[in-house]
A and B are shown apart, each in its own frame.
Chain A
Amino acid sequence: MSETSSPSQPSSTGTPEVARFPIVPADIDASCRIPLVVLFLSASVWLVIGSAFALVASLKFHAPGFLADSAWLTYGRVRPAGFNCVLYGFCIPAGLGVALWLLARLGRTRLALPGLATVGALCWNFGVAAGVWGILAGGSTGFENLEMPPYSARLVFLGYLMIVVWAALTFHQRRERQLFVSQWYLLAALFWFPWIYSTANLLLLTVRVRGMAQAVIAWWYADNLLVVWLGLVGLAAVFYFVPKLTGRELHSRYLALMTFWMLVLFGSWGGIPESAPVPAWMPVSSAVARGLGVIGILAVALNVHATLAGQCSRLMAHPSLRFIGFGVVAFIIGGLMSAAGALSEVTRVTQFTWFTVARDLLNYYGFFAMVMFGAVYCIVPRVMGIEFPSAKLVRAHFWVAAAGILLLVVPLAAGGIVQGLRLQHASLPFNDITQGTLPFLRVSTIGDLLIALGHLMFLGNLAGLVSRFYRIRAVSAWAAATVEIKPAETRP
Chain B
Amino acid sequence: MNYGPLVFLAAFFALASSWCGFVLTPQLQIGRLQQTNTVGGAGIAYPIARPGLAHQGLDVYRANGCAYCHSQQVGQTGTVLDIALTDAGTNQATTVAALLKLAESATNQPSALTMLPSFQPGSSNAITESILGGLPKAFFRSTTREAANAAAKALNSTSAKVQLWVVPVGPDITRGWGGRRTVAEDYLFDTPVMPGSQRVGPDLANVGTRLPDANWHLLHLYAPRLEVKASTMPPYRFLFEKRKIGRRPSPGALSLSGNLAPGPGYEIVPRPEAKALTAYLISLHADAPLFDAPISVLAPAGAPASTNAPAVPGAASTNAPPTNAPAK
Contact = CB atoms under 8 A, between A and B. Distances in A.
Interface string B219-260: 000001000111111111110000000000000000000000
B27 A213 contact: yes
A339 to B, nearest CB: 18
Interface string B152-175: 000000000000000000011011
A171 B144 CA distance: 63
Contact of A179 (B1, B183, B195, B199): B1
A142 B18 contact: no
Interface string A208-221: 11111111110110
Contacts of A179: 1-4, 7
Nearest to B181: A277
A156 B127 CA distance: 71
Contacts of B189: 211
B290 to A, nearest CB: 11
Contacts of B2: 1-2, 177-179
| Chain A facing B: main interface SS | helix
- Most chain A beta-carbon neighbours within 10 Å: one of B18, B23, B235: B18
Given A74-B234, A211-B33, A211-B187, 11 more contacts: A66-B234, A75-B65, A140-B63, A183-B7, A187-B8, A195-B19, A211-B188, A271-B22, A273-B197, A277-B183, A277-B195
A74 B228 CA distance: 19
A138 B64 CA distance: 6
6 contacts: A65-B235, A70-B238, A75-B65, A179-B3, A353-B198, A426-B171
Interface stretch (A113-121, A124-132, A257-265, A292-300): A257-265
Contacts of B196: 352
B324 A269 contact: no
A110 interface: no
Interface of B: 1-4, 7-8, 10-12, 14-15, 17-19, 21-23, 26-27, 29-33, 62-69, 71, 73, 75, 171-172, 174-175, 181-202, 224, 228-238, 321-322, 324
A282 B31 CA distance: 14
Interface string A350-378: 00111011000000000000000000000
A199 interface: yes
Contacts of B8: 187-188, 191
B187 A80 contact: no
A216 B195 CA distance: 10
A467 interface: no
A151 interface: no
A434 B181 contact: no
Interface string A139-163: 1111110000000000000000000
A75 B31 contact: no
B30 A69 contact: no
A356 B199 CA distance: 11
A433 B309 CA distance: 42
Contacts of A352: 71, 196-199
A210 B202 CA distance: 26
A77 B194 CA distance: 15
Contacts of B185: 211
Contact of A282 (B22, B71, B200): B22
Contact of B26 (A1, A278, A424, A437): A278
A65 B223 CA distance: 10
Given A213-B30, A431-B230, A423 B7 contact: no
B256 to A, nearest CB: 16
A357 B68 CA distance: 11
A276 B26 CA distance: 13
Nearest to A280: B322
Nearest to A352: B199
A188 B30 CA distance: 30
A399 interface: no
A196 B30 CA distance: 20
Contacts of B184: 211-212, 277-279
Contacts of B229: 431
A269 B193 contact: no
B64 A74 contact: yes
B190 A211 contact: yes
Contacts of A275: 73, 75
Interface of A: 1-2, 60-61, 64-66, 68-71, 74-77, 79-80, 138-144, 171-172, 177-179, 183-184, 187-188, 191-192, 195-196, 199, 203-204, 208-217, 219-220, 224, 257, 260-261, 264-265, 268-269, 271-273, 275-282, 285, 352-354, 356-357, 419, 423-427, 430-431, 434-435, 437-438
B69 A211 contact: no
B197 A69 contact: no
A76 B69 contact: yes
Given A212-B30, A280-B322, A423-B199, A64 B235 contact: yes
B192 A204 contact: yes
A220 B23 contact: yes
Contacts of B192: 141-143, 204, 214
A287 to B, nearest CB: 13
A192 B11 contact: yes
Given A138-B64, A426-B174, A353 B3 contact: no
A69 B242 CA distance: 13
B23 A277 contact: no
B64 A77 contact: yes
A137 B17 CA distance: 37
Nearest to A172: B4
A264 B10 contact: yes
Contact of B11 (A65, A188, A219): A188
B297 to A, nearest CB: 19
Contact of B65 (A65, A79, A203): A79
A188 B69 CA distance: 35
Contacts of A213: 26-27, 30-31
Q: Which of B10, B181, B186, B321 has the most CB of A within 10 A?
A: B10
Nearest to A427: B174
A191 B11 contact: yes
A250 to B, nearest CB: 14
Contact of B197 (A1, A77, A224, A356): A356
The 3 A-B pairs with the shortest beta carbon distances in the complex, nearest first, are A76-B65, A426-B174, A213-B31
**Which residue of B7, B8, B233 has the most chain A CB atoms within 10 A of its CB atom?**
B7
A224 B18 contact: yes
B69 A1 contact: no
Contact of A68 (B31, B195, B234, B322): B234
